[in-house]
């Protein structure tokens, strides 16, 4: 898809800028990092429910931040204006709902699994970014995506598949504070959100993927 003017995706840019600033600040401020991360045991014990959202605005390290913000930019700049079209009006509210809904929905399984584990912690916008990515896949599955690791553009649905494979691999390693499993549940939320918003999209997606094989 061709990139439109910056005014067509202001929320994407706002989230990208805020997340980058907070993440960089948290890299050198352990207290800020600790105060914002996702910690189910602490959420339950102290009633700090805000952590369901704030953890999405900090990241574990530079690679984690860059990957998530790259994917947010590549897909958010398309999804935000498209949501305005499908919602029949301004795109701000549906995009914010998609993004924050992805944050919240993707953390629920981890919360239930680790609410009694005082050692579990996670950070990152993985669930929200995955929701945005898969919202675009539902709308335009064959939109070409160009990125550093491939010399030629690939369809959005292939990029999405590779993204989930990477997430599955990193989740199995369990070597960082990144909520890699959130990608899967964020993807589910993104698909469900678009189907609720415009039910005909799922039929079009199934038809296109069926024809491809």
| The pLDDT of residue 200 | 84
Catalytic residues: 126, 183
Taking only the tens of pLDDT, the chain with its 213 residues reads 555 566 789 999 999 999 999 999 999 999 999 999 999 999 999 999 999 999 999 999 999 899 899 989 989 999 999 998 888 888 999 999 999 999 999 999 999 999 999 999 999 998 999 999 999 988 888 888 776 666 678 888 887 888 778 777 777 776 655 666 788 899 999 999 999 998 888 776 676 667 656
| The pLDDT of residue 194 | 93
C-alpha to C-alpha distance for 156 and 159, rounded to whole angstroms: 5
Q: Give domain status of residue 162, yes or no.
A: yes
On whether the CB atoms of residues 78 and 43 are closer than 8 A, the answer is no
* Cβ count within 10 A of residue 95: 25
Q: What's the sign of the alpha-carbon dihedral 143, 72, 147, 169?
A: negative
- CA-closest candidate to residue 189, choices 115, 121, 132: 132
Beta strands in the chain, from DSSP E residues, in sequence order: 144-145, 154-155
Report residue 209 as tokens: 């993927």
| The pLDDT of residue 33 | 97
Q: What is the pTM of this model?
A: 0.86
C-alpha to C-alpha distance for 38 and 114, rounded to whole angstroms: 11
Contacts of 9 (CB under 8 A, 6+ apart): 76, 77, 80, 81
Q: Give domain status of residue 109, yes or no.
A: yes
Q: Give domain status of residue 80, yes or no.
A: yes
CA distances from 183 to 24, 61, 91, 118 (A): 22, 17, 23, 23
CATH of the domain at 96: 1.20.1540.10
Contacts of 207 (CB under 8 A, 6+ apart): none
Q: Give domain status of residue 1, yes or no.
A: no
**Count: domains in the chain:** 1
End-to-end CA distance of the chain: 23
Report residue 172 as tokens: 């199995």
| The pLDDT of residue 186 | 93
Instruction: Show the domain range for 88.
Output: 6-212
Return left, alpha or beta for 198; rule: phi > 0 is left, psi -120 to 50 is alpha, else beta.
Answer: beta
| The pLDDT of residue 46 | 96
Report residue 74 as tokens: 């590549």
């Amino acid at each position: 898809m061709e990139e439109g003017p910056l005014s067509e995706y202001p929320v994407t840019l706002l989230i990208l800028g805020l997340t980058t600033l907070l993440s960089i600040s948290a890299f050198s401020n352990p207290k800020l990092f600790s105060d914002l991360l996702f910690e189910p045991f602490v959420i339950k014990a102290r009633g700090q429910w805000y952590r369901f959202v704030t953890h999405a605005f900090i990241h574990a390290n530079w690679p984690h931040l860059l990957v998530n913000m790259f994917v947010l930019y590549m897909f958010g700049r398309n999804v935000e204006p498209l949501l305005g079209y499908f919602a029949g009006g301004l795109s701000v509210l549906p995009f914010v709902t998609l993004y924050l809904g992805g944050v919240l929905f993707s953390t629920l399984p981890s919360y239930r699994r680790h609410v009694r584990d005082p050692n579990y912690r996670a950070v990152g916008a993985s669930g929200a970014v995955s929701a945005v990515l898969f919202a675009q896949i539902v709308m335009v599955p064959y939109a070409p995506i160009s990125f550093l690791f491939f010399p030629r553009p690939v369809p959005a649905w292939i990029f999405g598949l590779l993204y989930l494979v990477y997430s599955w691999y990193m989740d199995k390693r369990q070597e960082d504070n990144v909520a890699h499993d959130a990608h899967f549940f964020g993807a589910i939320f993104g698909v469900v959100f678009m189907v609720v918003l415009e039910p005909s999209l799922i039929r079009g997606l199934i038809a296109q993927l069926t024809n491809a094989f």
